[in-house]
Amino acid sequence: MQQEGLVNKQAKFGTLPVFLTALTTILGAVLFLRFGWAVGQVGFIGTIGIILIGHLVTIPTAMAVAEIATNQKVLGGGAYYIISRSFGLNIGGAIGVALYLSQAISVAFYVIAFAEAFDPIINWLTQNYGFVIPDKRFISLPVMTILAVIMLTRGANSGMKVLYVVAIILFASLVSFFFGKPLESYDGVLHSTQHISENENFFYVFVIIFPAFTGLAAGLGLSGDLKDPKVSIPRGTLWATLVGMVVYAFAAYKFAVSALPEDLVADQLIMSRIAVWGPIIPIGLAAASLSSALGSIMVAPRTIQAIGYDDIIPNKRISRWLSKGKKKDNEPINASLITIAIAFFFIFIGDINFVAEIISMFFIFTYGAICLISFLEHFAADPSYRPTFKSKWYISLIGAVLSFWLMFKMNTTYAISSIFVIGLIYYLITLSQKDKKGLEKLFRGVVFQLSRALQIFAQRADKEDREVSWRPFAVCVTADTFKRRSAFDFMRWISFKYGFGTYIHFIEGFLNEKTNKESKFVLNKLINLAHGSKNRVYLDTIISPSYTSAIAQVIQLSSISGKLNNLILFEFSRTEPENLQVVIDNFKIIKSSNFDVCILNTSYKGFGYQKEIHVWITTKDYENANLMILLAYILLGHPDWSKGFIKIFAVYPPEEKDMQAQHLFDMIKDGRLPISKSNITIVTSEGGETNSKTISRYSIDSDLCIVGFLHSDIIKNNVNIFNEYNELGNVLYVCSDKEKDIT
């Protein structure tokens, strides 16, 4: 229904109206009133710089518009429609409202400029008849009234007829200007850097001139009235932008060789003194201003009408009212009323420079947004993005970066205010339109491509020694997800800051419709279970005939980082020790893949207060020691363990006590681990007490106890080695594939 409302079944315009609407806006009031002033302020070279910088924004924007317009069906709403269908309706609506305001205010800008064209007549009346017009608003307000009546009664078709006449007059006035002679007070020689002594700041002059380069938005606004927008928009906007740039470059040269900078700044209608026939210039100014005003007053209502059709405005009644058009041709009658009211308000203000600053800021923000869309579409590489006209990603990036940089160079206060206003509008729209896609729609593809690139990079980097700068790429396969949370908690802790974790729920059976449906249900349940906890674990399910086959499948898969997993976690409850046998039976498969193995023994104490981690090192833990210490350190990186600390206990024969103590101190120092000497305890193995009894005696109050084991221990004692610490809380058994470097 929304899109049907944007369709004008009577649309019949082609490329020429887009070209003329854009070009007559580009070659409008600014060229006649302020461009000579700009040459006087910053000189010929400075003015060329303004033209080049301005077109480094507008040309990428025109190309981006052409690209986006040839990728999708473009309906009414112009730039708003293009932005909203790429950014999403929420951010599109926010930018669309700002764009609409700048378009509506542009009407006032051009009507005020139109009144300036009457300066020669006003002066003639005053000198010859003593008739004084004290304020040019006596001209601009009646003109605005006439424009309003034309648009409300006749619509865009009448405006387009006037546009052709205006284009002819504009062409004649420019020809007269370019064939004119320099002023008698000037030598006609180009002084490229010459300007007045107390000149304005370059970027202030840029602000005043930039509205001249915003004509392409005027052409876009006719999208709903075009017979074939995909053809007319690219051709019309690109040609108008290029022709406008060339004309402005020649105009800068003509001003520079025709008058002194002081004359250019003092006389805003100096073009009439240079032209072959002077009176044609005020006529051309009036025609250009009138055409630009017509273009803006045709475009602005169509933008806000399209916003109304999309139901973006929080008040539905207002949306329906704004979207209302004439039955015959969908002419936006109500939207025109709002536009006319805004224009009248700014005409009452009457300051053309103030109005120029406002519309420049909003327009350049919109252009930056369009270029950003094009760049991100290139980066996202979405298969559905298949424009027939293709720009280059770096051209769009230049346009986007330059636009946002210029905002702050032009006026930092206005830039911050503009961003704040657009951000506030976006927030209000999002509050009332939570079902509509916002920024997440735009960045989904970007994140996908970035993730893809990083995964490929990580995989290629994997050819280097995996043990250098070791970090956990951990995977856990369990069928007990909904019985106990200990394994999941451990995975989210070690993957929070330093590593990557993949948690897989095992479903026993063969893959069929029933088990596939069950796996999707379980995955959603897993996601809901994990929601709200501070975790960065990738969740998944696996359907396999047996736990052995599931493990065999999982250990062959890469982690989400793009690198192969290097650590596998198993978990068993102290109340169900029989589950451990399955792990032991598959230990040989796991070790053959060079995995580090962690077996978490869960007790009723759980992880206690998540404060004390005890690491126990014995004479057999040559390869395990560094991994045990690293895992303890990694756990402390999670906020849940923010108040935690590590205690290291080392069990050695009495004769090795001092030597091993110094070795531990050096290792901790070289490894830059936050463990003080006071937290290292050397325990001598004497008195016939077993290691398990010693560990139980020292670590009875620990929140996690980490001990090492070897493959040979399993071969010798099977599951018995994991049943020796029944008085402790959770115990993590660690078997390292090889010694880890922690320096």
Pick the CATH number of 2-439 from 3.30.420.40, 1.20.1740.10, 3.30.200.20, 1.10.8.60: 1.20.1740.10
pLDDT for 504 equals 93
The string of DSSP codes covering 258-280 is TS-HHHHHH-TTTHHHHSSSTTH
- Per CATH, domain 603-743 is 1.10.10.10: no
Gap between the Cα atoms of 449 and 382, Å rounded: 9
DSSP states of 506-520: EEES--SHHHHHHHH
Given a contact cutoff of 8 angstroms between Cβ atoms, the answer to whether 61 and 22 are in contact is no
What is the Cα–Cα distance from 371 to 68, expressed in whole angstroms?
10
pTM, 2 dp = 0.63
Asked whether residue 432 carries a pLDDT value surpassing 60, the answer given is yes
Q: Is the pLDDT of residue 187 over 90?
A: no
Cα separation, 680 vs 617, in Å, equals 11
Is the Cβ–Cβ distance between 116 and 139 less than 8 Å?
no
Q: Is 394 exposed, middle or buried (0-12, 13-18, 19+ CB in 10 A)?
A: exposed
Three-state SS at 684: strand
pLDDT of amino acid 3: 47
Comparing CA positions, the residue from 363, 388, 50, 389 lying closest to residue 216 is 363
Contact 263, 40 (CB under 8 A): yes
> Is the predicted pLDDT of residue 686 greater than 70, yes or no?
no
pLDDT given for residue 532 in this prediction: 67
Task: Give the whole-angstrom CA distance, residue 109 versus residue 120.
Answer: 20
Ranges of each domain in the chain = 2-439, 462-596, 603-743
What are the tens digits of pLDDT across the range 730-742?
A: 999 999 988 887 6
Please report where in the chains the tokens 């948690």 appear, as a residue: 503
What is the CATH code of the structural domain delimited by 462-596? 3.40.50
Cβ atoms 740, 472 nearer than 8 A: no
Inter-residue contact 517 to 608 (CB < 8 Å): no
> Higher-confidence residue: 227 or 607?
607
Query: Using 50, 70 and 90 to split pLDDT, how confident is the model at 63?
Result: confident
Question: How much is the pLDDT for 4?
Answer: 45
Whether the predicted pLDDT of 171 surpasses 60: yes
Select from 208, 211, 180 the least CA-distant residue to 281: 180
Q: Which amino acid is at 423?
A: G
Which tokens belong to 47?
Answer: 């003015």
pLDDT for the residue 268: 84
Per-residue confidence (pLDDT) for residue 440, from 0 to 100: 62
Given this model, what pLDDT does residue 218 score?
Answer: 63
Question: Residue 616's pLDDT is what?
Answer: 93
**Selected residue with higher pLDDT from 39 and 153:** 39
pLDDT surpasses 90 at 53:
yes
Q: Are 618 and 691 in contact (CB under 8 A)?
A: yes
CB count in 10 Å sphere of residue 215: 26
d(CA 721, CA 719): 6
Does the pLDDT value for residue 558 go beyond 70? yes
* DSSP single-letter state for residue 257: T
The distance from CA 187 to its chain's CA centroid, rounded to whole angstroms, is: 53
pLDDT in tens, 281-290: 888 888 878 7
DSSP letter (8 states) at residue 688:
T
- In the chain, the largest separation of any two C-alpha atoms, in whole Å, equals 125
Same fold, 462-596 and 603-743: yes
> DSSP letter at 720?
G
Sorting pLDDT into bands at 50, 70 and 90, what band is 178? very high
Phi and psi of 573, rounded to 5°? Answer: -90, 145
Which residue, 15, 25, 13, is CA-closest to 241? 25
Calculate mean pLDDT across residues 582-602: 87
Q: Is residue 702 pLDDT above 90, yes or no?
A: yes
DSSP letters of 529-549?
A: HHTTSS--EEEEEEEESSHHH
Range from 32-41, 221-230, 639-648 carrying the lowest mean pLDDT: 221-230
Compute the average pLDDT of residues 684-699: 81
Which residue in 261, 360, 298 sits closest to 24, CA to CA? 298
Hey, CA dihedral for 81, 87, 91, 95, is it positive or negative?
negative
Candidates 122, 692, 28; CA nearest to 359 is 28
The pLDDT assigned to 670 comes to: 65
H or E stretch at 475: strand 473-478
- Helix count and strand count (H, E) for the chain: 30, 10
- Radius of gyration from C-alpha coordinates of the chain: 37
Q: What is the dihedral of CA 142, 143, 148, 154, to 10 degrees?
A: 120
User: H/E/C letters for each residue in 317-328?
Assistant: HHHHHHHCCCCC
| % of the chain beyond a pLDDT of 90 | 22
Give pLDDT, residue 458: 60
Q: Tokens standing for 227?
A: 């017979």
DSSP letter at 739 equals P
Averaged pLDDT for residues 445-467: 60
Tens digit of each residue's pLDDT (9 = 90 or more) over 522-545: 999 888 877 767 778 889 999 999
Lowest mean pLDDT among 85-89, 217-221, 502-506: 217-221
Looking at the predicted structure, is the pLDDT value of residue 130 above 50? Answer: yes
CB-hemisphere CA count at 13 Å for 284?
A: 26
**How many residues belong to the chain?**
743
- The reported pLDDT for the residue numbered 6 is 47
Residue 108 has pLDDT above 80, yes or no: yes
Overall average pLDDT of the 636-649 stretch: 90
At 371 the pLDDT is: 86
Q: How is residue 669 written in tokens?
A: 């120092």
When the pLDDT of each residue in the chain is averaged and rounded to a whole number, the result is 81
pLDDT of 299 over the 50 cut: yes
Of the pLDDT bands very low, low, confident and very high (cuts 50, 70, 90), residue 87 is: low
More confident site: 37 or 90: 37
The three-class DSSP label of residue 130 is coil
pLDDT, tens digit, 9 for 90 and up, residues 409-425: 888 888 888 888 888 88
pLDDT of residue 465: 47
For residue 7, pLDDT over 60 is answered with no
Can you spell out the DSSP letters for 671-728? TT-S--GGGEEEEE--TT--HHHHHHHHSTT-SEEEEE--HHHHHHHGGGGGSS-TTS
Q: In the predicted model, what is the mean pLDDT of residues 570-574? A: 89
Distance CA(709)–CA(567), nearest Å, equals: 15
- Structure tokens belonging to residue 419: 């961003």
Residues 172 and 281: their CA atoms lie apart, in Å, by 9
What is the reported pLDDT for 594?
A: 85
**Would you place residue 699 in the very low, low, confident or very high pLDDT band (cuts 50, 70, 90)?**
very high
Residue 452 confidence (pLDDT): 61
Is the confidence at residue 143, as pLDDT, over 50? yes
